[in-house]
Amino acid sequence: MAEATFLVNKVGRGGRPSATILIDAAVSTDTVAGLVQKHLTRNKDLLKKLGLKSCLGCISGMDIDIRQRYDFDMRVQF
């Protein structure tokens, strides 16, 4: 089964919302588009927590980076 992971943060001086989506190689473009709409741009609870309204103009300020998930992820904390 294919999987997608959403990582949402506030970045920069103004706390601009930014989302990174890690997807498996088996996920199609149509599936990614549906996932972004369902879990990110149409999720009113998430948008409210990020300080955005759910209108299209407000969502346009969010950076969305879609990346392929690799077999080995390395996390380093310092």
16's enclosing H/E stretch is: strand 16-23
DSSP string, 17-68: EEEEEEE-TT--HHHHHHHHIIIIIT-HHHHHHTT--SSHHHHTT-EEEEEE
**Tens digits of per-residue pLDDT, 39-60?**
888 888 888 877 776 666 666 6
Band (22; pLDDT cuts 50, 70, 90): confident
Q: Which residue has the higher pLDDT, 53 or 37?
A: 37
What pLDDT score was predicted for residue 74? 73
Supply 32's token pair.
Answer: 């990614």
Domain boundaries, the chain: 4-68
Alpha-carbon distance of 21 to 38, in angstroms, equals: 13
**Tens digits of per-residue pLDDT, 55-69?**
666 666 678 888 887
